Structure formats: structure tokens, C-alpha cells
Structure 1
Amino acid sequence: MNKPLTLNDYNRADVIASLLSVNDFVRWVTTCLNSANLVYGHGYTNAVDEALPLVLHGINMDMPVPPETLQSHLSTIEKKRIIELTERRIDGRIPVAYLTQKAQFSGLDFYVDERVLVPRSPIAELIEQGFEPWLEATKIERVLDLCTGSGCIGIACAYGFPEAQVDIVDLSPDALDVARINISKHGLEGCVEAIKSDLFSALDGRSYDLIVSNPPYVPQASYDALPPEFEHEPEMGLVSGVDGLEHVKRILNEAANYLGEQGWLCAEVGEARDALENKWPEVPFIWPEFERGGGDIFLLDAQALRRHF
């Protein structure tokens, strides 16, 4: 059986001379990525998904592109740039979203860099559905996105609830700088406010109809075992103590103070779900199902929060 071709098997001059079109390079990048033992999951699920945006970024283009563009021939400098990006993805184990500084969430485009996590939460599906049947979109006036990172959840909520005022909160000044870039990118300065806060600490006097959060929830031991791709993301956006519940405990204990009578809390807890349910088996967490996969996201209304926390 032949050994798979790897990036190091290729002479760069031969690649530049023999490959001509965008499609040629998409195929070549896919081959290199497939043989590199990479880990996917930062917005893309496989080598094919990563190859096209990486190649297009090398020629200063974005998806979607006309089919004829894929047949167009590339200049030598464009080919060199694509090769360099491929080397950085493989040798540096850098997620493609950080190489392109672009990510999609809920059908929207966002700027990202290594100051924030790459957007990938299944909460996008709930936003697109207006959080039905639990909420009525027309009654949502104020939304809070806790641990906002890039601002993607809060900004997507601003589109989903166009009459609402949205506060997006993070403890990291670097993350808030990225979030403000995205607020400006989407022209939402009038309805989305970025606030530096340690969870609810700077929000006294504010009340919300919906609090959404994708907080850190990875146990320290699990984080220490993550593949190299995750080393490019800010640790403070991932790790939450020994059991993954350090942030979620605080959110549960404080959220009712910032919710209206008919308000709802939605939070992602990932692999900490078992620890959460074992700690509070009596709490009526609602766990939606997701058509696009993922999950471990709960909903809890204000009344339940006040009864149990």
C-alpha cells in the first residue's frame, strides 16, 4: 500500500509550475491536510471544508465565488501565498479561521483572531428559531450575551430580535476589542453595547428578557489533553475549574437577579453537562435537540432559577 503524500513530499517549485487553477490548489491543499493528522472543529469539519476558504483567502476572495473562478489560473505570487498558508495550517496547527481572520456564525460573517474563540456554538440554531417555543420574539426587548468573545451570539441575537437592545459582556479587554470590531462591521452600534464585566458584576440595575451564554466549561484536565489546534485559543475562554462548572455555578446563582418575570436563561455547558445534572438533579433543565448536531445547551426560566438558586 502506498504511503499517503504529505506536504513535505512536494517540491515547492514543482507545485508552482504544475498546478494552475484555483481548483488545482483546492485539490492539492485537501491532499496535504488529509495526510497531516490535523484536528478539525473550528468552524470546519474536514479537509475539504477547510481547503476552499484557505485557497480563496490566498487570492483575496471570499465564498461564494462563481464556478468559473475555480477554473481561473493563478499567478506565481498567489500560488506562493497559498503554499505558505498551507504550511502554517499544518506546521503550526493553526485553525483556518485564524489564518483567514474570518468565521461564520448563524449565517453571518465575523472577524476573529487569537484573542477570541472561533465561533462554533450550536446556540446559533436556537437564535435562528427565535428560541421558540420558549420565547415570543415580539416580546424580547433586552438581551444579554455573557462571555461574548467575538460578539457573535449577541450580534446574531440583534438580527434575530431587531427591536431589542443587546448587551454583550466579557472580562477580557482583548475580546471586547474584537467584539467592537464586529459591532462596527455589522453597523449595530445603536443597539449592541459591549461592556467589560466579570459576568454580572458591572450590570447592576439592568434586567433582561433573555440571557444567553457560552461560558468557559472545559475541566482543566480535559483542556490539558486537547489537541494543538486549541492552544491558539485563549485559555480563559475555555477552562472553568476542575469540573468545568466554575462559571456556570455563578451564572445560575446570579441570573435570576437580572431576568424579568418571564425571562429565560440559555447556556452551553458542553462536557460539563453530567457534572451539572449530578450536582442539581432536581432542577428542571430543558435540553433542546439540534438538527445540525451538537448540544449540551440548557434553558431555564426565571421562576425555576428563583426556586432553586
Structure 2
Amino acid sequence: MNTQATDQLNTVRDWLRFAVSKFNKAGLFFGHGCTNAYDEAAYLILHTLHLSPDQLEPFLDARLTFDERNEVEKVLQRRIQERRPAAYLTREAWLGDYAFYVDERVIIPRSFIAELLHNHLEPWITEPEHIQHALDLCTGSGCLAILMAQVFDEAEIDAVDISQDALAVAKKNVDDYQLSHRIHLIHSDMFDGVSGKRYDLIVSNPPYVNAASMATLPDEYRYEPSNALASGKDGLDATRCILSVATNYLTDRGMLIVEIGHNREALLSMYPGLPFTWLETSSGDSFVFLISREQLAGWQIRSSQ
């Protein structure tokens, strides 16, 4: 960055305006927690200054020290030059009011299922105490397992991932939230490591990016582990695997919730007659489905006849 220009930036407001301009000029891609240059610039500046994400307004006209200006400039420069997602620069990602440690061993949490858990999965689950055993399949950073533990006070939760690196990150987050007595991290390729177990609730935010989209991902996504994104030609390899065997792992009244990205039409054409319930999220009702064991088993019986 131009040192002469940045020498004239004194307040948080100055640096915020400067950062937004630079981010827009650089054509950065936003999609890992923030959706625009302003929000991401504000987040990075506040984090670097050790201020809460909701404390922008009171400090807009606060003047930065020499060392603070250097630190802010460094993090903004890295975001622009490396095109590294902000969460990997700060080692922090937020889902609602919950912060999680992240690094390049896991994808950055951004699941619509987190929104649904925030609302206690109502009206689909009316008695949270009946969720005694739950599974977070493809847990990554462990964020959904942790959110489930907050919502379902009585639940023992298994959190499964094929990546040992991801499980190491999940362990840090589980330990940070002091939930190791309720969340059990399991190294497993899908359901292989939980054979014989049955769950009242299974949630999964599996890989779901199709081959065409993988080939054109913005630079920011290239920092994330590809095996946590790619799911075959149509993006549904992992979802097909889940649907094919989920009845073996659900209790009689158990429910399955899966996030599938932009693959709703492809999924419906592949499974005609399967009675998916599409859950409403902040971006619409095309991204997360719910299905009960009873519905899935009934469809499988009809399809085999």
C-alpha cells in the first residue's frame, strides 16, 4: 500500500473508508461470513484493534496509535494481496453469537443449519428433551455439533469427519466450549465409524459443490480443503450416500437434516416422490431439507416394488 497515503489515515473511520475502497478496487470475493466490502473491512479492523464486532459506532472517530495503524495496514494488505478469507487471517469465524477457531484445515463455517438450530428447529422439534442422541456428519470445525449441544441440553452428540486435521480443529472448539463430556469426535468416512448406533437427529452440511463450480471457484475458496467442498460431477455424491443408508442410523422417530447448496432441482429430479420438507432460511427454502426416517423408509419400500 502507498505509505504516504496511509500516513494520512488517523481514525477508525478513515481506515474503514480506505479499506472499503481498496477491497472494491481489488475485486475481492466475499462469502465467508461477510457479504460485502464494508462489513468485512469493519470486521478486520475491529478484530485487529481487539474490539468487539458490535463496537464500531462508538470508536469510529477514535485515533489509532502508530503501532495500531501498522497492524491494520498489514491485515488489509494480506486480505488484498493473498485473497485469503478474513476468517483465516483472524483465525475466527462466527455463527450468530458463537465464535469458533478456524484455520485452513477446515472450511469456514457458514451453514444455514446454524440459523435453524438458533430457532431450536421449531416447529419440527417441539420437545427438545426428546433428542437424546444426535449426529453431526461431516463436522469440520465442530460448529454444528456445538450448536446442537447448546440447543438440546439432554443430547449426547457424535461429531464425525473423514479428516483428522478437521477433527483436531473441532477438538479445540469443543474444548473451548467445555463440551468434551457431551460431544464425541469420531474419525470416520461418513457412517463407517458409527456402525450400530441410532440417532434421534442427524444433521449434515456435507460437501456439495459440483465439478463445474469447483473449476471456477474464486481465489478465496482455494484456501479451503477441496475434499470439504467437492462432491462429484453433480455435487450430490455425499448426499446420495447419506440418503442411501440414513434409515440404518435413525431411531424410529428420528429426523435427517441436510444442507445441499444450490442442488435442489438436481436432487428432486434424482429422487422423484421422496417427500422432502424444505426448511425456510434467510436465503429461501432451497438449501436445506428435512426428512423423517419413516418417510425415507416408506419411499425406499415403494421404490423397490
1:6 counterpart residue number = none
2:134 counterpart residue number = 143
Alignment-mate amino acid for residue 117 of structure 2: I
d(CA) in 1 for partners of 2:285, 2:176: 28
Following superposition, the deviation at residue 232 of structure 1 comes to 0.8
1:38 counterpart = 2:43: no
Structure 1 gap ranges (5+): 1-9
2:67 counterpart residue number = 77
CA contact (8 A) 1:147 1:170 kept: yes
The answer to which of 171-180 and 126-135 deviates more is 126-135
Output aligned runs, 1:1-309, within 5 Å. Answer: 11-15=2-6, 17-65=7-55, 67-135=57-125, 136-291=127-282, 293=284, 295-309=286-300
SS in 2 for 1:263: strand
Following superposition, the deviation at residue 293 of structure 1 comes to 4.8
d(CA) in 2 for partners of 1:287, 1:67: 38
- 1:230-257 residue CA offsets vs partner (Å, 9 max, x unmatched): 1011100000011111111110011111
Following superposition, the deviation at residue 105 of structure 1 comes to 1.0
d(CA) in 2 for partners of 1:280, 1:95: 36
d(CA) in 2 for partners of 1:290, 1:68: 32
1:3 counterpart residue number = none
Which aligned runs of 4 or more in structure 1 are off by greater than 3 angstroms? Answer: 66-70, 291-295
Following superposition, the deviation at residue 285 of structure 1 comes to 0.7
d(CA) in 2 for partners of 1:22, 1:55: 8
C-alpha root-mean-square deviation of aligned residues, in Å? Answer: 1.5
- 1:131-170 residue CA offsets vs partner (Å, 9 max, x unmatched): 1222231211111000011111111111011111111110
SS in 1 for 2:278: coil
SS in 1 for 2:46: helix
SS in 1 for 2:192: coil
CA contact (8 A) 1:122 1:294 kept: no
Aligned length: 299
The answer to which of 20-29 and 115-124 deviates more is 20-29
CA contact (8 A) 1:122 1:293 kept: no
Following superposition, the deviation at residue 125 of structure 1 comes to 1.7
Query: So what's the TM-score if we normalise by structure 1?
Result: 0.92
1:7 counterpart residue number = none
Q: 1:24 to 1:270 in 2, by over 3 A?
A: same
CA contact (8 A) 1:213 1:268 kept: yes
Following superposition, the deviation at residue 22 of structure 1 comes to 1.9
2:303 counterpart residue number = none
Q: 1:220 to 1:210 in 2, by over 3 A?
A: same
